[in-house]
């Protein structure tokens, strides 16, 4: 991975995000359009991108690497859960629940996949898809526990297995594991749809940013959270990757995705369960803005 390529990728992602910001500000993208864009990314372009990433030859080495990523991610997420419980215990419940959830659930799904693909290529996107599986499991279990009572196992399994990105990852694993040959027309269609994912994902992030007045973004609690989300957690992931003897590619993907900003569902759930929705939004926006600096910084440190 060259530094020039990384900077070009980061610059492209920033400009796409800026485009989304401007489209929302001049009302070309309305609230209804933003909802449509969200559904289009989550249900169409992102699953297609995940499917495309699994179209390669399976080797014993690749299988063991994917298994290692899955186990590493599960451990990192559990440590993130403990960090959220410890770091924000002094805050009132309506704030603490938000930050505990945001410590577990990042924006690795929407923002992480195009970043992984742009910096590390198709193989990096496949690794990111494996990373996303335990993230969804934690999101619907430990994540929801931050706002509600512990959900039952059946509910967790249903929400996880019916998520389009998880379905795409499972289908991709079957195609990869069984080496199922796909018709050329289907491969071309999946590739064409997947090609729109990075553009639409970053435009979507820009429209989310446009909804928040920039003057009101600063908040000491959100800044404290951002330091943990973008600094402490990826540092922990880096240490675990070194201990596990991971190669440069795996370490880069795992650390980069662990250092993603807060997931946009943080603000949605905060509003739904009567928590501090304003703080949740500030955490999402502030961590997203600073991640444009910390993501390339982590990549430089790793390489």
The candidate with the shortest Cα–Cα distance to 133, out of 42, 176, 69, is 69
Q: Report the alpha-carbon angle 87-251-238, nearest 5.
A: 30
The three-class DSSP label of residue 181 is coil
Overall average pLDDT of the 145-170 stretch: 68
The candidate with the shortest Cα–Cα distance to 298, out of 240, 259, 242, is 259
pLDDT at 5 over 70: no
| 103 or 107, higher pLDDT | 103
Res. 240 pLDDT band, cuts 50 70 90: very high
Which whole-number Å values give the CA distances from 151 to 73, 137, 163, 271, in the listed order?
21, 12, 17, 19
Res. 229 pLDDT band, cuts 50 70 90: very high
Q: Which of 27-31, 163-167, 209-213: highest mean pLDDT?
A: 27-31
pLDDT at 114 over 70: yes
**pLDDT attached to residue 47:** 84
**pLDDT attached to residue 160:** 62
What residues pair up with 214 in beta bridges, in sequence order?
A: none
Q: How many whole angstroms separate alpha carbon 128 and alpha carbon 70?
A: 10
Q: How many whole angstroms separate alpha carbon 31 and alpha carbon 8?
A: 30
* Fold for the domain defined by 3-302: Na+/H+ antiporter like fold (1.20.1530)
**pLDDT attached to residue 302:** 83
260 and 273 Cβ atoms separated by less than 8 Å: no
* Predicted structure pTM score: 0.74
**DSSP labels for 75-134?**
HHHHHHHHHHHHHTTTS-HHHHHHHHHHHH-BSIIIIIHHHHHHHHHHHHHHHHHHHHHH
**pLDDT attached to residue 173:** 79
What count of Cα atoms within 13 Å lies in the side-chain half-sphere of residue 223? 5
Which whole-number Å values give the CA distances from 80 to 100, 138, 234, 271, 299, in the listed order?
9, 10, 10, 23, 21
Q: Each residue of 96-105: b (16+ CB within 10 Å) or e? A: bbbbbbbbbb
pLDDT at 236 over 60: yes
DSSP letter for 215, please.
G
Q: Could you read off the pLDDT of 75-99 as tens digits, one per residue? A: 999 999 899 889 998 888 888 888 8
| 39 or 157, higher pLDDT | 39
Rounded to the nearest 10°, the torsion over CA 213, 216, 218, 220 is -140
What residues pair up with 273 in beta bridges, in sequence order?
A: none
Q: How many whole angstroms separate alpha carbon 85 and alpha carbon 145?
A: 12
Res. 26 pLDDT band, cuts 50 70 90: very high
Share of the chain above pLDDT 70, in %: 83
Q: Quick one: how far is CA 286 from the chain centroid?
A: 16
The candidate with the shortest Cα–Cα distance to 144, out of 104, 112, 175, is 104
Long-range pairs for 54-60 at CB < 8 Å and ≥24 separation?
Answer: 54/126, 54/129, 54/169, 54/172, 54/173, 54/175, 54/176, 55/175, 55/176, 55/182, 55/187, 55/190, 56/122, 56/123, 56/126, 56/176, 57/179, 58/176, 58/177, 58/179
| 9 or 178, higher pLDDT | 178
Overall average pLDDT of the 269-290 stretch: 78
């Amino acid at each position: 991975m060259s530094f020039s390529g990384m900077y070009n990728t980061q610059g492209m992602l920033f400009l796409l995000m800026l485009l989304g910001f401007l489209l929302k500000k001049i009302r070309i993208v309305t609230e209804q359009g933003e909802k449509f864009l969200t559904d289009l990314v989550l249900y169409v372009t992102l699953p297609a991108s995940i499917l495309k990433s699994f179209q390669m030859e399976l080797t014993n080495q690749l299988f063991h690497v994917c298994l290692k990523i899955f186990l590493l991610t599960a451990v990192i997420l559990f440590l993130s859960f403990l960090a959220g419980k410890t770091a924000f215990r002094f805050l009132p419940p309506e704030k603490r629940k938000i930050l505990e959830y945001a410590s577990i659930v990042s924006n690795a799904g929407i923002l992480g996949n195009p970043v992984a693909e742009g910096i590390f290529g198709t193989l990096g996107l496949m690794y990111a898809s494996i990373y996303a599986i335990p993230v969804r499991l934690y999101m619907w279990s430990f994540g929801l526990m931050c706002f509600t009572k512990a959900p039952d196992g059946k509910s967790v399994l249903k929400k996880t297995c019916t998520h389009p990105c998880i379905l795409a990852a499972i289908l991709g694993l079957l195609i990869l594991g069984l080496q199922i040959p796909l018709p050329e027309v289907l491969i071309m269609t999946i590739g064409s749809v997947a090609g729109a994912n990075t553009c639409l994902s970053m435009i979507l992030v820009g429209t989310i940013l446009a909804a928040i007045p920039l003057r009101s973004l600063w908040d000491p609690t959100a800044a404290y959270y951002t330091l943990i989300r973008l600094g402490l957690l990826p540092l922990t992931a880096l240490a675990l990757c070194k201990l596990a003897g991971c190669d440069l590619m795996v370490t880069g993907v795992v650390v980069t995705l662990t250092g993603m900003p807060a997931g946009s569902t943080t603000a949605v759930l905060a509003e739904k369960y009567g928590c501090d929705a304003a703080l949740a939004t500030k955490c999402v926006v502030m961590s997203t803005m600073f991640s444009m600096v910390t993501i390339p910084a982590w990549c430089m440190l790793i390489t």
